[in-house]
Structure 1
Amino acid sequence: MRSFINAAVLTGCVLTSSLAIAQKPKKATPKTPALPEFQLKTEDPGVHVRFLAADEMLGRRTGEITNNVAARYIAEQYRRLGLKPAGTQADYLQAVALERVASDNKGLLVYGSDSLKVKQHFILLSGEKTTFAHTPVVFAAYGTEADYQGLDVKGKIVVAQFGTAEAKNPQEGFDLSEKKVKWAADKGAAALIEVLPPQLPWQIVVRYFAGDRVRVASEKSEKPAMPHLWIGGTASKGFNRDHVKEISGETPGQEKVPVRSFNVAAVLEGTDPALKNEYVVLSAHFDHVGTGKNGGGNFTAADSIFNGTRDNAFGTAAVLEAAKTLSLVKPKRSVLFLNFTGEEMGLLGSKYYAENPLVPMKSCIFNLNSDGAGYNDTTLVTVIGLERTGAKAEIEAAAKAFGLRVNEDPAPEQGLFDRSDNVSFAAKGVPAPTITPGFNKFDDKIYKYYHQVSDNPDTISYDYLLKFCQTYAYAARLIANLPARPQWSKGDKYEPAAQELYK
């Protein structure tokens, strides 16, 4: 039938339709914001991830050459952008004083008719080889500063429970150990023994803490360092004041070798004459756990490389892309970009930086750290400390701009706030959340890749990585342009440190 349609009718219809189209008002085309984070492309952060998490990088383990290669790669990205080294540094690399410590595993402790063997019952965390001959033992509850009230421990061995009565997870106990050593040493103790709770799997503790370890280098002293021991496993159950009155024997010795490692630091100066004296800190760690048995997980001869794509090439890419976009259109406040070594070995790089800052800590008004175990929800970004650190509105606005939502810590039992580099700033008083790829629980989707050899660069969504990086950069911009600095929530455990820092 179409071939017999009257030509005049057809022509009329076309003309009428054309007039209708011509008369129809045009809709205004929405304008994409001119800010450069809106112009990022998928391949931009992908370049960083594919390099840092490549097999050739062998897991970027702190103390190994590929960790330093990663640091140099990051430094050269900052140089290419024209950023300045932080503080009085001539280069972007901040040397971090670390040392590799290996125990000789020779030692035996005796109390009454019982004995403790190295690794089987106890391990040495720090200190010199020391001999005890019927040395008295003093029990000091949890070994906190308050627990020494009324106790004479000079020349005696202090025994304390691991952690504190209020500690909610093992990480709090690990974090407190160094302070306990100082408190015991200041009181003149001959040694500190911490008794680990039976529920802490002793073999895992031994694997992580009794072998070769990298730590912040100990200061040289004229007198030998006091031994710090952990007792665990079956020995912890009977090691109490009823059975232990004095100890004889010898602790293991340690060999220490300096380790060459670096943080990376760069500065972008802000545009506001007054606010540029304040800094927003953008941080992420770039190290991972290495290869083979060092990785701590399952591996095979075919694949023994723990690539660390999600943890934390992902977060490192976010910081690098933020550096690029913020340098194109500068915010009001200055920005300090920090990339840390040694996070996987106990937040070593950020702890070192916090004690040796390149920019005065009191000038740093906020730290937006990026780290994570992976993701199971690409509609989200997850922010650990969202409700505590005073920039919730800005982070939510940034996520919304790229079609994402924000959720607060979905696994508070994990103690995640105190398990990443942000806590090194929080402990000094700086509001410091961690933004992580979106997750709503720790499930098989997380554990499939978290610290596994399967965490290769080809297993992530680069479209989601792009949105994550855009959100991170835009949130940083919004925070850096705020008229007033963010504040800790009232009553937060880190609020007193902030009051001291910013007074």
Structure 2
Amino acid sequence: MKRLSLAAVSLIALMAAPALAQQTPTISENSVTAHIGFLAGEELQGRASATRDEAIAAAYVAAQFRLSGLTPVPGMDGYVQRAPVVKTTPSGAATLTLGGVTLNQGADFAIMRGGLNAASGAVTVAPSADPAALPAGSETLMVAPAEGPAVRALFGAAMRSGAKLVLLRRTEMLAQATSDGGSRDPVIRLADAAPSTGPVILVLSPEAYDRVAAAGGSIAYDPGASQVEQGFTSNAIGWLQGTDPTAGVLMISAHLDHIGLRSDGVVMHGANDDASGTVAVIELAEALAAMGPHERSILFVAYGSEEAGLLGSRYFVEHPPIPLEDIAANLEIEMIGDQDPQLPEGVMMMTGFTRSNFGAALKERGALVGPDPYPEQNFFERSDNYALALKGIVAHTVSGWATIPTYHTADDTIANLDIPFMTNAIQSLVAPLAAMADGGFTPEWSEGGRPAAR
């Protein structure tokens, strides 16, 4: 048998490359496990927003983008967009005063949100924990939630109630979420944004809650002194150039930060939330680059500081590396490390599914996605997709289990991930997203589906 020369072999390989490039790459469990092992491993200590650990995670994602053949966005000098932030650390010695009685942070209550602002006012006790029945316009609103994940919907309703101070009776879930008392957790905002004026939300021990509810009258919250410092949060961004600059850009994103190391020494690893989505972005970048070139350019983004208030995505839309009007659609991927038992086997939920034809088009092309079974919890507005949706871009989030019991607990670890489900979920997105990048289909809002700009 005659041996082919090296030049002949190279020529045959080049001739075969276009056909091979169009085959759908296989997402391997080994690769998924390797990426999640680093991002949610002990070394990164939970990737807390606007910390060195978050910056390392962004550098890792950027390195994976480069390995996959992505380039910096034209006009950027690298793969990381840094957003200046202001970090304010509370004193840990806040107080609540009711008449002549003083309640102390740590012993009597923990800070859930907004603990830097003083607040006071007459106490109103909610008649039930039904989010739809919360009194509106109260100065201080007291609510006794039921145990379980329904507290999230109640939390959102309390945020929108107009109260300046919200006092929640501690449940087991709230106890886990605030076990360190919020005593030294920094409050982070974008440097060019005004300080938050939203409500102060505190979690009271059952004894303290019952005492305040029985006493009634007016109550005052004093945050004590605080420490202010400058910092930055990191968005990792990669670019896959398309062949038609007029075809628009497909954007695929996730958030790379989590809660990090709590002041009580517990690491909040955030394996599902949202190392899983970040791994999906890395894997999709590699797969779609291997299948290219595509007609549309594809933008891959891993945001920082989502947990601090969707800061990375907010900075992105205010300082976009490309014109926002060029983005045809955005798919955000969050918490795909396990599946909701209410969904069909293997299927992810898409928030705001009926707001546009994007989800239906992905499903028709083979993506394992379906409607959100929890529309009352407004998940469409609670992830990074929303910043883009407010700018008119068709943008949705897919998730495996949005109300997973490990959400924002120390149990959100690699050991509690369903790697086969996660791998299959990512695999199901490859061909549909490639078709979106190659074809002429552009997602559109349904009538009344586009959120009003704020």
With the length of structure 1 as denominator, give the TM-score of the two structures: 0.66
CA 1:353/1:160 → structure 2, altered by over 3 Å: closer, same or farther? farther
Deviation of 1:74 (Å): 0.8
How has the CA–CA distance of structure 1 residues 398 and 81 changed in structure 2, closer, same or farther, with 3 Å as cutoff?
same
1:91 corresponds to which residue?
A: 78
CA distance, structure 1, for counterparts of residue 305 and residue 180 of structure 2: 14
How many residues are paired up? 408
1:162-184, Cα deviation, whole Å (9 max, x unpaired): 99xxx99245358769xx7xxxx
1:115-168 deviation per Cα after TM superposition (whole angstroms, max 9, x unaligned): 56556468682657x7x9xx99999xxxxxxx99xxxxxxxxx936599xxx99
Contact 2:355 2:445 in 1 (8 A): yes
Is the aligned partner of 1:339 residue 2:302?
Answer: yes
Is the CA contact (8 Å cut-off) linking 1:381 and 1:399 kept in structure 2?
Answer: no
Q: Paired residue for 2:244?
A: 272
2:272 partner amino acid? R
Which amino acid letter does the alignment assign opposite residue 54 of structure 1?
Answer: G
Please report how far the alpha carbon of residue 71 of structure 1 lies from its aligned counterpart in structure 2 after TM superposition.
0.9
Mapped contact 2:359–2:370 kept (Cα < 8 A): no
Secondary structure, in 3 states, of the residue corresponding to 1:47? helix
- Report matched runs for 1:346-365 at 5 Å: 346-365=309-328
How far off is 1:338 after superposition?
0.6
Q: Is the 8 A contact 2:242 2:295 kept in 1?
A: yes
* 2:89 corresponds to 1:102: yes
Q: CA deviation at 1:415?
A: 3.5
The whole-number CA distance in structure 2 between the counterparts of 1:255 and 1:226 is 18
Give the equivalent residue in structure 2 for 1:155: none
CA contact (8 A) 1:322 1:469 kept: yes
Q: 2: distance between equivalents of 1:266 and 1:391?
A: 22
| SS class of match (1:258) | strand
- Judged with a 3 Å threshold, the aligned counterparts in structure 2 of structure 1 residues 333 and 45 are, in CA distance, closer, same or farther, namely same
- Residue in structure 2 matched with residue 5 of structure 1 by the alignment: none
Q: For 1:93-172, what aligned pairs fall within 5 Å after superposition?
A: 93-106=80-93, 117-118=104-105, 120=108, 125=114, 159=139, 169-170=153-154, 172=156
Q: How far does residue 76 in structure 1 lie from its aligned partner after superposition?
A: 1.2
Q: Percent identity?
A: 24
Report the CA distance between 1:386 and its aligned residue.
2.4
2:251 pairs with 1:284: no
Aligned partner of 1:496 in structure 2 is 452
1:94 positional shift: 1.1
Query: How far does residue 209 in structure 1 lie from its aligned partner after superposition?
Result: 7.5
Structure 2 residue runs without a partner (length 5+)? 1-18, 125-135, 144-150
Structure 1: segments with no counterpart, 5+ residues: 1-32, 140-146, 149-157, 181-191, 296-303
Please name the residue that 1:447 is paired with. 405
Q: Does 1:474 align with 2:454?
A: no
Q: Is 1:262 the equivalent of 2:243?
A: no
1:279 CA drift (Å) = 1.9
Q: 1:374 to 1:243 in 2, by over 3 A?
A: same
Of residues 410-419 and 76-85 in structure 1, the stretch that sits farther from structure 2 once superposed is: 410-419
Q: Distance in 2 between matches of 1:106 and 1:90?
A: 44
Equivalent residue number for residue 348 of structure 2: 381
Contact residue 27 and residue 427 of structure 2 kept, 8 A: no
* 2:130 corresponds to: none
Which has the greater radius of gyration?
A: 1
CA distance in structure 2 between the aligned counterparts of 1:97 and 1:387, rounded to whole angstroms: 36
Q: Is the 8 A contact 1:126 1:227 kept in 2?
A: no
Corresponding residue to 1:368 among 325, 328, 331 = 331
Deviations 1:287-346 (A, max 9, x none): 233356669xxxxxxxx6544333333222221222223223132222211101222333
Aligned counterpart, 2:385: 422
Whole-angstrom distance in 2 between the partners of 1:409 and 1:52: 27
Alpha-carbon displacement from aligned partner over 1:241-287 (angstroms, at most 9, x marks no partner):
x944xx88965121122334311112222222421xx2221001122
Structure 2 residue identity aligned to 1:343 = E
Counterpart contact for 1:373–1:450, Cα < 8 Å:
no
Letter paired with 1:125: G
Q: Deviations over 1:400-430 (max 9, x none)?
A: 6xxxx43321333443323322222223332
State how far apart, in whole Å, the 1-side matches of 2:302 and 2:232 are: 16
TM-score (norm 2): 0.72
CA RMSD of superposed structures (Å): 4.5
2:24 aligned with 1:38, yes or no?
yes
What does residue 324 of structure 1 align with? Answer: 286
Query: Structure 1 61/197 Cα, relative in aligned 2: closer, same or farther at 3 Å?
Result: closer
Per-residue CA deviation, residues 331-366 of structure 1 (Å, 9 max, x unaligned), is: 222221110122233323223323332223232221
Q: Secondary structure at the match of 1:420?
A: coil
- Whether the 8 Å CA contact 1:310–1:450 is kept in 2: the answer is no
CA distance in 1, matches of 2:366, 2:380: 20
8 Å CA contact 1:390, 1:487 repeated in 2? yes
- Equivalents in 1 of 2:412, 2:326: separation in Å? 41
